[in-house]
Amino acid sequence: MPKAKIALIGVGNCASALVQGIQFYSKMEKENEYIGLRYPCLGGLTPEDLQIVAAFDVDDRKVGQDLSEAIFAKPNNAPKVITVPKTGVIVQKGPLLDGVGKSTKQLMRLSKAEDIDVADVLKKSGAEIVVNLLPSGATQASEWYAEQALEAACGFVNVTPTFIASSLKWMKKFTEKDLPLVGDDLVDQIGSTALHKTLLQLLSKSGAKITETYQLDVGGGTESLDTMDRTRDAKRAIKTQSVASSLPYKAEVVAGSTDYVDFLQNKRDSYFWISGVYFCNAPLRIDLKFSTVDAPNSGSVLFDVLRAMKLALNKKHKGAIEPLCAYGFKHPPKMLPLEAAEVAFRKFVDENS
């Protein structure tokens, strides 16, 4: 099968993890060496079958640079795990729109270069899949790039919380163009939301009754700062809904980002509190702290989604692809329990390989 040709919208920390990950895992020869991936091979595709062919950003330290250099340019602070050779992909200047918030603007050095014709670059690069890696609050920019994907006949992966795959308007647009669409708001591989949901499901299945629970996230990446500035309420609503869906009854649930701490760099700390009762109404309390590096947490799930999108394109699926959305995103068009989402995803891959 030909490689999946991918265009990146935004060359931030998640893009850095993705590009480094492709290089890192492309060196592996045996399946047992693919530590950190759920699916070393998915539908006949390995990480080596993912090819970045175009990239767009607005920061002067990235625009005009080879992608191999741009992923390590400030304000990125994702850890460097491997040296990436020259890719031949030069980061192009996209339109600013609402892509930079007030708080993150102080960290940026906006390029004065002319905006490129994005749809034209997508067509000439041969891109098949556009991945939206813009900051959480970039609603206008996310929708603009979705339009460019439609014009260039590309599938669209919306990593951000902007409602695109879960919007009837956008579903219709991609269906009419015979193109696949997935999103919204990518889950982490070892994410606080997934861990929270798993704990609640385990306790509930054991007969315990959860009455109150919260999950608070603190991070030091630019995404955390942008969330505080523009999308704290929206992301809290999405996470709270996702966590609450793991319980078969109503409980008091709060989940979401709560603060930005610059010296954490690309790390994220999550705090969980769970309260409930079990046998004879005996009290139950859980108080946990969970720490991860933020950018790599997007890698494994994004690998899976991109390879599955290649299968969707080959089989000419169109509109929102619900099994992919439910598997890889916090706000899919149709929310499924974790186990059901996994089953639906595997079934889609098996039927379309």
For the chain, list the domains and their CATH numbers: 4-187+297-352 (3.40.50.720), 192-294 (3.30.360.10)
Q: Are 24 and 82 in contact (CB under 8 A)?
A: yes
* CA distances for 158 relative to 1, 17, 91, angstroms: 24, 17, 20
pLDDT for 28:
84
Q: What value does the mean pLDDT take over residues 47-57?
A: 97
**pLDDT above 90: residue 102:** no
Write down the mean pLDDT value for the chain. Answer: 93
pLDDT at 324: 98
pLDDT in tens, 307-333: 999 999 999 999 999 999 999 998 999
The H or E element spanning position 350 is helix 338-352
Average pLDDT rounded to a whole number, residues 120-136: 96
Between 105 and 22, the more confident residue is 22
Q: How does strand 283-293 pair with strand 267-277?
A: antiparallel
The DSSP result for 195-225, as a single string, is HHHHHHHHHHHTT-EEEEEEEEEEE-SHHHH
Instruction: Give the model confidence (pLDDT) of 271-306 as tens digits.
Output: 999 999 999 999 999 999 999 998 999 999 999 999
Q: Whole-prediction pTM value?
A: 0.88
